[in-house]
Chains A and B, each alone.
Chain A
Amino acid sequence: MRENGKMKNDYKVKTENITVDYGEKRALHGINLNISSNEVTSLIGPSGCGKSTFIRCINRMNDLIDGCKVNGKILIDNEDINNQNMDVVELRAKVGMVFQKPNPFPKSIFDNVAYGPRIHGTVKNKEELENMVRKSLKRAGLWNEVHDRLDASGLSLSGGQQQRLCIARAIAVNPDILLMDEPCSALDPIATAVIEELINELKERYTIMIVTHSMQQAARLSQKTAYFHLGEMIEFGDTSSIFTNPKHEMTEAYISGKIG
């Protein structure tokens, strides 16, 4: 749970001069972006501009990529996540991630959700674990569809259900931050609407960063929007002003589908 009485301008995530290199190739050129608590921030921009690279910095997923080098400062709750004392497993529990393609484990629905709490030891006994699984599935809006078949394989679900299962799995460890990389790109409009509704509810508890290629989705869901282009952050601000009156011509051209 989050502490109460936080100051309004207290950023959940602060990034200073982030650069990322894949071998010789620089993918991010000094990004400075601060993310507020309990808001949805969307990252938009053309393919290859570095959106996924950026959000992977926040839970140090780039560590897993060979030849990938991250520089700069990333603070979560004012704590440097690249600090030697940082426990990466704990960090990934605190910063959950949902990917473009739903990737449930080839295990039962129950075990998919129970996986995190078991690993991180966030529950004391079987009863607490069952409660946690139920609560997470409910919060992800999947409970009603699966409560009578928790033993079925996660892979037996439809794409939209699998994505909600992955969201349930991510929130089962009570993260503070949820990173979502194009979570709806493989879903139909109904499943997308369900997930969007869910994200809207989740932002009451979590700080959410979402990468999306749907301008309408970014406009509907997020309070803040960052526009990336070729590894630089071109514009960042309130979503309402970015989509009605962007300050930068490149942003305008991109969101309106113009030839830049």
Chain B
Amino acid sequence: MKTNNHINTGFDEDLKSLNNNIAKLGGLAETQLYETMQSLADKNVYKFNKIINRDKKLDALEDEINKKVVEFLAIWSPIASDLRNVLVAHKISSILERIGDYSKNISRRSLIIIEDNNFSTLPVNIIGLGEHVQKLLHNVLDAYMERDVDLAMEIWSQDIDIDRLYLSLFKELTTIMHDNPEEIKDLTHMVFISKNLERIGDHATAIAKQIYFLVNGSMPPDHRPKADFNID
């Protein structure tokens, strides 16, 4: 982060407290995703309700950040990189809240699948996709805290891996559906779980884009490779 301090020390204090809240929200979003995927892998039903309830904490923290952002803008009228700092904090907090929602949704669906307990096997790739997305989220939060554009851009270009994993998982799940029509309900939940993981990956790359904007003052040039989405 920039080392230059503001003459008004209150400015730096307010900005720091805003950034601390983002760090807290990021930590919560990571925990939610981690515990969700861990419980699904272990077929452990006990944690899901706790995870679902904890989502309220993320919502409350996002509200608090929104309030702080409004106050900050009204009091300090920040410009240049200070302004980008606040705008990006605002945007990232809403992205993190969305990521929390996806984890909650995965928890709900996982609970149903595990309680039904009549599905053959959990496709290994669902857990693999989950791990990949977790790594992406973890790294992008690191990149944000360190204002590390290179890392952010690396993450941004990795979104295609997530798309490919999701695509192959989708094909695998529809093939199983075809052979096991009696499990179609649980398998549909699994399709949604994979889709939610893919969405979280997408949001993580949106954060990466914000980091680029924060540091450079412009959006990254959009020549990122995209997976060919043929879902047929």
Which residues of A approach B to under 8 Å, CB–CB? Answer: 215-216, 219, 243-246, 252-253, 255-260
Contact = CB atoms under 8 A, between A and B. Distances in A.
Contact of A255 (B5, B7, B11, B79): B79
Contact of B7 (A244, A245, A259): A259
Interface of B: 4-8, 11, 77-84, 216-218
A259 B4 contact: yes
B81 A252 contact: yes
Nearest to A219: B79
Contacts of A258: 4-7
Contacts of B217: 244-245
A245 B4 contact: no
B204 to A, nearest CB: 25
19 contacts: A215-B79, A243-B80, A244-B79, A244-B83, A245-B81, A245-B216, A252-B81, A253-B4, A255-B80, A256-B6, A257-B8, A257-B11, A258-B4, A258-B5, A258-B7, A259-B4, A259-B5, A259-B7, A260-B4
Contacts, number: 40
A253 B84 CA distance: 15
A244 B79 CA distance: 6
B112 to A, nearest CB: 48
Contacts of B218: 245
B8 to A, nearest CB: 6
Contacts of B8: 257
A219 B81 CA distance: 15
A245 B5 contact: no
B78 to A, nearest CB: 7
B77 A245 contact: no
A222 B106 CA distance: 51
B5 A256 contact: no
Contacts of A259: 4-7
A256 B78 contact: yes
A243 B78 CA distance: 10
A253 B11 CA distance: 14
A183 B88 CA distance: 35
A245 B80 contact: yes
Contacts of A256: 6, 78-82
